[in-house]
Amino acid sequence: MMKPKVAFFDFAGCEGDQLQVANLEEDLLALLGKVDVVCFREVMKECDEDYAIAFVEGSCTRLQDEDRLKRIRENAKIVVAIGSCATIGGINSLRNYKNLDEVRKTVYGEKAKLFDTYEARPIDAVIPVDAYVYGCPIDKDEFLHVVTSLLMGKKPDIPTYPVCVECKKNENVCAFERDQFCVGPVTRAGCDSCCVNEGTICWGCRGLVDNPNENSHKEVLIKYGLTVEEAIGKFKLYFGWQEGKK
């Protein structure tokens, strides 16, 4: 069997997800036995336009990026969004709550007019996406699961249930019982509740589950002591684009 050619691309993001891939260590070697990487800015100079699978990191934050995304879509058989920014808009979407002219002035000062921008969005707001690797950053095992699934021609198995499921299986003490405030009950699982395992909270980096009960969870946050505004703020960090769509 010919090895499928894969390429990595990045838009507005920190490239942390590609770094996770570059850090796969021995699994990376096994992976390279199965695919040919033709474009990966983080580890190689060359870039070829002939590829079957495109991994796209970062959110789309300006109109002119859409053309580049569309070209990737035309070239690739399979487009995989990787990381929070590409899959759900990510923390870039925080700015969607603000006046975009002010956002530009804050970042670029006097030269603001030279830099175009629009609401930060996940790449599936621009092009059709075939598979998603959620997370900020992505989880190495889940990335490998998605890649092996695609190579086998099956749909990756990405949880539709919230992080609580993994927290319970890992026998974590609930963040709320530690007087902390967590959005795990509305956030898509698949990370093995890695943040809560370390004694902190779920920030929501994998985005909302398909049918979150947001009202109920906001009530929970308030019941446990947050103000209404603080509760809404909990939903802004990662869910900006998903919330804005409603």
Partner 1 sequence: MRLISKKDFSNFVNALINDDSLNIVGVKAKDQKFSFGPLESAGDLRLDYDVTLLPPKKYFFPQRETLFGYSLSKGFVAEKPAETKPLILVGVHPYDIAALLHMDEVFKDTKSDPYYSERRNKSVIIGVNIQKICKNCFAPQMGTATIDEGYDLMLTDLGNRYAIDIGTLKGKNLLAKYAKNVKTAYTRDIQLVGQKEHEIYAKAQQKLDFSPDRIPGLLEKNYEEREFWEEHAEKCLACGSCVLVCPTCYCFDVKDQPNLSLNKGERIRTWDGCLLEDFAKVASGENFRATRLSRYRHRYFKKGKYLFDRFGFISCVGCGRCSSNCLPDIANPVTLFNDLYNYTLEKGVKVGPPTSPEVEIKTEGNIDFVPRVAKIVKKTPMTSLETLFEIKLEDGSELSHEPGQFVEVSVFGVGEAPISVSSPPTKKGSFELCVRRLGNVTTKLHSLNEGDLIGIRGPFGKGFNPDSLKGKDLLFIAGGLGIAPLRSLFNYVLANRKDYGKVILLYGCKEPKELLFGEEVLSLEKRDDVEFKPTVDWCPEGELWDGNIGVITTLIPQVDFDPQRTYAIVVGPPIMYKFVIADLKERDVPDDHIILSLERRMKCGVGKCGHCQINQIYVCKDGPVFNYSKIKGVPEAL
Q: Which of 236, 12, 226 is nearest to 107 (CA)?
A: 12
Q: Which of 94, 126, 136 is nearest to 242 (CA)?
A: 94
Residue-wise burial string across 72-92, b where 16 or more C-beta atoms lie within 10 A, e elsewhere: bbeebeebbbbbbbbbbbbbb
Contact 93, 47 (CB under 8 A): no
Q: Does 3 bind partner 1 (CB under 8 A)?
A: no
Binding track over 17-46 against partner 1, x by CB under 8 A: ----------x--xx-xx------------
Residue 53 DSSP SS3: strand
Residues 64-103 that bind partner 1 (CB under 8 A): none
Cα separation values, 49 from 5, 38, 72, 162, Å:
10, 8, 8, 38
Stretch that binds partner 1, among 6-14, 44-52, 72-80, 182-190 (CB under 8 A): 182-190
Residue 114 DSSP SS3: helix
Closer of 87 and 172 to partner 1 (Cβ): 172
Closer of 145 and 236 to partner 1 (Cβ): 145
Closer of 75 and 180 to partner 1 (Cβ): 180
Q: How many CB atoms lie within 10 A of CB 181?
A: 18
Task: Name the helix (H) or strand (E) containing 7.
Answer: strand 5-10
Q: In angstroms, what is the minimal distance from the CB of 169 to partner 1?
A: 4
Could you say which of 158, 178, 226, 232 contacts partner 1 (CB under 8 A)? 178
Could you say which of 100, 144, 158, 222 contacts partner 1 (CB under 8 A)? 144
Q: Does 146 bind partner 1 (CB under 8 A)?
A: no
Could you say which of 37, 131, 138, 186 contacts partner 1 (CB under 8 A)? 186
Q: Does 157 bind partner 1 (CB under 8 A)?
A: yes
Residues that bind partner 1 (CB under 8 A): 27, 30-31, 33-34, 144-145, 148, 151-155, 157, 160-162, 164-165, 168-174, 176-178, 184-186, 209-211, 213, 216-217, 219-220
